[in-house]
Amino acid sequence: MAHPSSSSSLGPTKRQFDVFVSFRGKDTRNTFTSYLLQSLHRKGIDAFFDGKLRRGKDISVLFDRIEQSKMSIIVFSENYANSTWCLEELWKIMQCRERSGHVVLPIFYKVRKSDVENQTGSFRTPFQNPKASFKGREHKVAAWKEALKTASNILGHVLPEERPECEFVEKIATETFKMLNDLSPCEISGFPGIEFRSKELEELLMFDNANCTRTIGVLGMTGIGKTTVAASVYKRNYRRFDGYCFVEDIENESIRRGLPHLRQKLLSKLLDEENVDVRAHGRLKEFLRNKKVLIVLDNVTEENQIEVLIGQRELYRKGSRIVITTRDKKLLENNADATYVVPRLNDREAMELFCLEAFSENLHSTEEFMDLAENFVYYAKGHPLALKLLGSGLRHKEKTYWMQKWERLRVVPDKEIQKVLKVSYDTLDDEQKSMFLDIACFFRDLEDKCFLTVSYNRLEMHDLLHTMGKEIGYESSVKREGKRTRLWNPKDIRHVLEQSTGTGCVRGIFLNMSNVERIKLSPDVFMKMSNLKFLKFHYSHCSQWCDNKHKIQFSEDLDHFPDELVYLHWQGYPYEYLPSEFNPEELVDLSLRHSYIKQLWEDEKVPQNTEKLRWVDLSQSQGLLNLSGLSRAKNLERLDLEGCKSLVMLGSSIEQMNKLIYLNLRECTSLESLPEGINLKSLKTLILSGCSNLQEFQIISENIESLYLDGSTIQRVAERIESLRNLILLNLKNCCRLKCLPNDLYKLKSLQELILSGCSALESLPPIKEEMGCLEILLMDGTSIKQTPETIFLSNLKVFSFCGSSIEDSTELALLPFSGNSCLSDLYLTNCNIYKLPDNFSSLHSLRSLCLSRNNIETLPESIEKLHCLLFLDLKHCRRLNSLPVLPPNIQYVDAHGCVSLEKVAKPVTVPLVTERMHTTFIFTDCFKLNRAEQEAIVAQAQLKSQLLARTSLQHNHKGLVLDPLVAVCFPGSDIPSWFCHQSMGSSIETNLLPHWCNNKFIGASLGVVVTFKDHEGRHANRLSVRCKCRFQNRNGQSISFSFCLGGWNESCGSSCHEPRKLGSDHVFISFNNCNVPVFQWNEESNDGNRCRPTSASFEFYLTDGTERKLERCKELLQVEVSSQRSLLAEISSGTDSLWLLSSGEFQNRNGQSISFSFCLGAGNESCGSSCHEPRKLGSDHVFISFNNCNVPVFQWNEEINDGNRCRPTSASFEFYLTDGTERKLERCKVTRCGMSLLYAPDENDRGFQGTRVTDTVERRSHSQVGERRNGRMRDEIPL
């Protein structure tokens, strides 16, 4: 927010304020109102008030200020009603409230509300004799009385006479801040047609459908109105949601502030908290999964921005909505369910917008201007921003001025929008032009009154104006050779620097060195540039030092920098000192990353005045020896010294930096100690990560909130640690020499996150008492702690990890006070010598992730079924586990790899829900004691869940559905289940489809793969993906292709206590995929009825290592089986570092048209699970069975063709392959057998929905035809 404005100079300049303050000057100008404005100012609220007497002024100007403000504060005081000016303001405020929902907050300053409402007390006197009090305005008295009555009934604040004013105003300012936050973050003026466009976007968002999470992209060129439309929809609908946030201009904010800052801002808004710990993943996930949210991501330019800010849509509760505005269509392909392309304004809308801007409310005077107006509208070609700029530039101008402007516009050769925008540049004075060009050429976030818009109370420049400004700067420089002011073009900069043609006209040089060859310069190259304010040499394509020393060479040492420098960034600065003659009195921002600097200035030449310096970045300057050059930088706020490996000590310079907020000393490997006896009162973040020579930590600030000591060699934490009363995060990860923690640790009452992972020498934990009630994350994996403390208070804990501990008595863990913890969401107890879980374990109602791998448990308590929030269960290498009880109904991921004693699995494994929503993965690799009956029970459960999931999915719009397996299962074996009635050998299937195969009950394909791993000794498989590429074709030769995953696992994230997964035998992967969605969509889009439905399909299966790289070492044998249910089954041989099983399918119709797509049969994903999982080792062949609703692409294709049954697919082919979790195939693995069967949704009365084994139903429907091929491809008629 901008600073408050105090002005009585009410000129015509249009500006938007946060708050308009109406008050009686003689009552409160120097008391209450003054305090209030100061408090608003401290909170960054832009408040307008007329601070001087208004004699002779036109009140209509004040009316404009009221309309331009988001809300008004009315200070009713004793003499308020004596002023006709105040009463007029009040009337206007109430009018705006009635017409546009203007927010009003009344303050009753030492007056009664009843006196204001009824005009009694001090409010009675002026109304007793209206003719005398309001001479000439008696006709307005009734309206003023009504306004007083209305305002008095609005909820506000009453200040009693005895109440201290300074306390009262702080409360009002805080409430005002919250009220402004509840308003739309960007107050939109809109444009004609905004209502229509908003409704179109709302239709795509489907706000009334609470059963899905939708992401909609808003696409269009710069300035076309993407943000305006999104903001309009946001403002109209945000109250429907539990949480909401509009993140504006991500492209520039992510560069200026960083994505972590934007994520913090987003989460703070969603949770309605000022300071949110983004590391508290469990808490954040819990909130997002339980609250409907509305999020708008504005001006997205990179996919990473979407991933960091909102992550996966599975995090959000159904009913949530996300809007992404962007210029890049590719960003929306994988991140949006649908895209709304913002159209340009039609002729009527364009004319209306132009007139609104050019004539404001004086539309009666437009007739004589209409011919000229049509010219300007035609010139703008429906572009809203161009129309606004042209219209506002002509407002209040005479017709002769319009004619002159149009004549000038006609001679401009370039008719594009950027030339239109250039017209507004002519209206600026010289100072404004200079400021504008600085912004356009170098910075996008500086203040300018005409060309920037208010966003989150910050002025920002639009993209079109930015480009226009750079063109103006370039053109003016060309016209004035030798007098260039702003240089950013590498060729121009090379010429100016090498030829030493720079003069005092040069204000800024920004040189991107990434694609620049060597430049040779003289030592006095900057001598003549006396007014140089901005100098930046950087690399846009290199995060590390890119040999800058050799790209910029000097014949002698550089001897001069201009004293006017405000901004100096030189990545890889090639000298050991800054020039001795450089006087940095104006310097604010200094960055010499990856430089050769040893000391900023030599000892005897340290400048006397560096008080304006705020930010210093010397990171990765490995020769830096000390900070003596900063001894007088008393106002420094941020100091980054990361990677300064020669820095031994900070020295006395640091003592003067009382405004320092952020100090980064990460990887300062020579740093031995911190200064003693100092207290940097402003310091909030101290980073000492990787300081391998730092053996003792000294407290240098008692106000630290985040302290990073991870990877250091400290042996103990400071004894006065309890003095850090504001400490929120304490990271001691991998402090291998840390032997103990202070006993007073429990006095850290604000501590939320304590990380002790990898502290291998730590043998004990001090008491965790009730005073640590804020503690939410406690990680102790990889320590040597042998006993839990006598006192341990964990009732508010959300994440707890005790993996790989050396605890002697596992019963202590069972006695930890977890019971009754309503917050605990993630619990990791790997390799903790646990034999049994307590019976009251079910009291952990919020538990979502549970890791018990490599423990000695023989069974789980039956009460685990009551953990309805549990999603992830890790039981790897529980070698004594012999049975599994019924698991919670919402479980998504169960990994029992290496449970060699597991013999029995509950029937059913989970209780299926008729309204099934959860995609589920069951991994039983190397569970060799599971007999055929148990395996069939697992498959039957998966099959039932898949039918329920597919049935649910058929009730909703399938467009944009991600083709992940709905249900995936993996277990040891070499046999294909009997209900796979169509089989083939190899890694692909081609099959013909009979008429009517693709009816409205087709829900997808069940797919199975048998994987045999060769060369398995010593081979690890932490990441593997089995994928399928499908292709459906119709009789016309049209086809659709898509890919999906059948199964696998992903353990690439690593942990402190897991081993690689070894595959040593045949395994079966079975999955169900809803491939019906793309097929149906394609069929719809083809617009040719049943004639173009797919008649053939092909599926190609392959394995990858989790990327797109295929695993060539796998042999593939595909067996396909078809009846009323389609399934794919494949056997794969080899070993790999990761494994996903995928299938590529193709459906073809009798016209030769086809559709192809890929899907996953099975995949393990441990990246979001335990932090201490072990590798998966497979010792035999395994069968993968998958149920996939591939009906979606088939139906979509069939609908696209839209030609009746004649074009439905009549044949299908499938090819299987393995990956490591990406698209990279695993070449050393091969699919050896496979099978496939079509699935159809049962009728409502089908016994399959009432608990009957689905396999029985399928077997009754199946045909006995079986075929095999060794070379992996097959094409057969499906007997439907």
Q: Between vectors from CA 1244 to CA 1238 and to CA 1247, what angle results, nearest 5°? A: 75
What are 883's strand-pairing partners? 904
| Closest to 376 measured CA to CA, from 342, 400, 360, 353 | 353
3-class SS of residue 35 = helix
In one-letter notation, the amino acid at residue 1220 is D
At what angle are helices 32-42 and 165-182 packed, to 10 degrees? 50
| Closest to 989 measured CA to CA, from 1271, 1248, 729, 761 | 1271
Tell me whether strands 1139-1149 and 1209-1219 are parallel, antiparallel or unpaired: antiparallel
What are 218's strand-pairing partners? 325, 340
User: Omega before 908 cis (within 30°)?
Assistant: yes
The number of beta carbons lying within 10 Å of the beta carbon of residue 956 is 12
| Closest to 242 measured CA to CA, from 274, 216, 210 | 210
d(C-alpha 336, C-alpha 205), whole Å? 11
Q: Which of 67, 78, 88, 89 is catalytic?
A: 89
3-class SS of residue 686 = strand
Structure-token pair, residue 1205:
């049954």
Hey, CA dihedral for 50, 54, 56, 60, is it positive or negative? positive
* DSSP-assigned letters across all residues of 978-1024: TT--EEESSSEEEEE--TT-S-TTEEEEEEEEEE--SS-TT---SEE
DSSP 571: T
d(C-alpha 297, C-alpha 249), whole Å? 8
Sheet (strand 103-109) strand order: 5-6, 47-49, 17-22, 69-76, 103-109, 157-159
Q: What's the farthest any 2 CA atoms get from each other in the chain?
A: 108
d(C-alpha 658, C-alpha 400), whole Å? 60
| Closest to 1229 measured CA to CA, from 1140, 1129, 1100 | 1140
Mapping DSSP onto H, E and C, the string for 817-843 reads: CCCCCCCCCEEECCCCCCCCCCHHHHH
DSSP 299: E
E-strand stretches of 361-503: 452-455, 458-461, 486-487
d(C-alpha 946, C-alpha 920), whole Å? 9
d(C-alpha 596, C-alpha 418), whole Å? 42
Structure-token pair, residue 825:
């969401």
The DSSP H or E segment spanning 1061 is none
What count of Cα atoms within 13 Å lies in the side-chain half-sphere of residue 1191?
Answer: 29
> Is there a catalytic annotation at residue 89?
yes
Mapping DSSP onto H, E and C, the string for 877-939 reads: CCCCCCEECCECCCCCEEECCCCCCCCEECCCCECCCCCCCCCEEEECCCCCCCCHHHHHHHH
d(C-alpha 774, C-alpha 322), whole Å? 32
| Closest to 656 measured CA to CA, from 673, 642, 639, 644 | 639
d(C-alpha 124, C-alpha 138), whole Å? 15
Q: 1142, 1065 in Cβ contact below 8 A?
A: no
What are the residue numbers of the active site?
89
